[in-house]
Amino acid sequence: MKKHNFSAGPAILPASVIREAAKGVANYEGIGLSLLEVSHRGPEFTAIIEEATALMQELMELPEGYKVIWLTGGASTQFFMAPMNLLDAGETAAYVDTGTWASKAIKEAKGFGNIQVLASSKEQNYNYIPKGYKIPKDAKYLHLTSNNTIFGTQLHKFPKSPIPIVCDMSSDFLSRPLDVSPFGLIYAGAQKNLGPAGVTVVIVREDLLGKVSRYLPSMLDYRTFIKEHSLYNTPPVFPIYVSMLTLRWLKKLGGTKVMQRRNKAKAALLYREIDDNPLFQGTALKQDRSLMNVCFVMAPGYESLEKEFLKETEANGLVGLKGHRSVGGFRASIYNAMPKQGVQALVNLMRDFANRKA
């Protein structure tokens, strides 16, 4: 049975990338060694990380002065590493609270300066993106979370900011074209749209660094990894390799503009079924619905069917659809690598289930 992976992360990867990565694990480029055992300072991996960085610069259309570094620790480490590098004691940074990960970022940042929460959607269980807040010009940066995996909301348009934006883009990274110039720092865990868990991408405007007075441990100083081309210590070799293969795949398809069109079409197909099907309803406000994580529940009066529907999804090869405990119901994560056929398979099951149960 063909399985469609709707997991929120670690998530689906392109099938061609998995096949190529498997070959590299067995015997990388015919050298008689697995990629898992080559030196991170040898010519094989040097070529991989250089290509991965160059592809990232190309696909993101990075202006002069922006650096790409490959780190570990996930986006959660960036919750404190970003303010540690950018925010001096006594200075203020502005944050917008749009969900669990934004809330955790706020908590970690409070250890490094004054944190001003400009807006929050917590009172509505994070089912919308706050708008219309005033951004203080004297803050060092504005921190945003572009997509909220748990609650299924997404920033479809970034606010005009008088200060650099720092953004957690883990779950919609490379899913659409982006003007990087308003951003001082972008970070993303790879395990949604880029590669396997274990590597985190950071894109940083280099002129913002070196301004804090605190001591920065070498492993927590962005400048260390810029200077050493992400090779200060042993990097996560395999996740970077798979990320490079995914970047190749994305470039071959036509880049982020093509990916945006595909993602919009997939999301429209699923949201249309949610809105038209009497058994289901969405949880996020329509104008803020995520194109990456589609969250929905059983409609009023049909709540008792939730477990039955989930059981049928699994029986039909549709895996990873159980919603986060904060929201309940279902969550279909339809990242870049999810083909439209996978979304159509879910829609077909929803229609069939409604025909039998409504």
Residue pLDDT, tens place only, 259-292: 999 999 999 999 999 999 999 999 999 999 999 9
- Classified by CATH at the fold level, domain 15-253 comes out as Aspartate Aminotransferase; domain 2 (3.40.640)
What does the pLDDT read at residue 259? 98
- Does the annotation count 101 as an active-site position? yes
- Classified by CATH at the fold level, domain 255-357 comes out as Aspartate Aminotransferase, domain 1 (3.90.1150)
Phi–psi pair at 335, nearest 5 degrees: -65, 180
pLDDT, tens digit (0-9, with 9 covering 90-100), for 22-33 = 999 999 999 999
Q: How far apart are alpha carbons 75 and 169 in whole angstroms?
A: 9
What does the pLDDT read at residue 187? 98
Q: Which of 97, 168, 221, 288 is catalytic?
A: 168
Residue 43 token pair: 């010519």
Q: How many percent of the chain have pLDDT more than 90?
A: 98
pLDDT, tens digit (0-9, with 9 covering 90-100), for 82-121 = 999 999 999 999 999 999 999 999 999 999 999 999 999 9
pLDDT, tens digit (0-9, with 9 covering 90-100), for 216-263 = 999 999 999 999 999 999 999 999 999 999 999 999 999 999 999 999
Residue 310's identity, in one-letter code, is L
Residue 240 token pair: 């970077």
Residue 291's identity, in one-letter code, is L
Q: How far apart are alpha carbons 174 and 146 in whole angstroms?
A: 12
- Residue 2 pLDDT exceeds 90: no
Q: Which of 67, 70, 97, 101 is catalytic?
A: 101
pLDDT band (50, 70, 90) for residue 319: very high
Phi–psi pair at 296, nearest 5 degrees: -155, 160
- What sign for the dihedral angle of Cα 323, 336, 103, 124? negative
Q: Which of 192, 266, 288, 322 is catalytic?
A: 192
Phi–psi pair at 31, nearest 5 degrees: -85, -5
The residues facing 183 across adjacent strands are 165
- Residue 1 pLDDT exceeds 90: no
Q: How far apart are alpha carbons 313 and 342 in whole angstroms?
A: 12
What does the pLDDT read at residue 358? 86
Q: How does strand 142-145 pair with strand 92-97?
A: parallel
Residue 159 token pair: 């606010």
- Does the annotation count 207 as an active-site position? no
Q: How far apart are alpha carbons 172 and 155 in whole angstroms?
A: 10
Residue 161 token pair: 């900011």
Q: How far apart are alpha carbons 187 and 203 in whole angstroms?
A: 6
Residues 6 or more apart whose CB falls under 8 angstroms from that of 354 comprise 277, 278, 279, 280
The domain locations on the chain are 15-253, 255-357
Nearest alpha-carbon partner for 245 in 7, 11, 18: 18
Please give the model's pTM, rounded to 2 decimal places.
0.97
What does the pLDDT read at residue 355? 97
Cis peptide before 239 (omega within 30 of 0): no
What does the pLDDT read at residue 201? 98
Q: Helix crossing, 237-253 with 256-276: angle to 10°?
A: 90
Give the SS3 label for residue 201.
Answer: strand
Residue 186's identity, in one-letter code, is I
pLDDT, tens digit (0-9, with 9 covering 90-100), for 136-152 = 999 999 999 999 999 99
Cis peptide before 10 (omega within 30 of 0): yes
Residue 227's identity, in one-letter code, is K
User: How does DSSP classify residue 134?
Assistant: P
The residues facing 200 across adjacent strands are 71, 189
- What sign for the dihedral angle of Cα 265, 270, 275, 281? negative
In terms of Cβ atoms closer than 10 Å to its own Cβ (0-12, 13-18, 19+), residue 193 is buried
Same fold, 15-253 and 255-357: no
What is the chain's alpha carbon radius of gyration, rounded to the nearest angstrom? 21
What does the pLDDT read at residue 92? 98
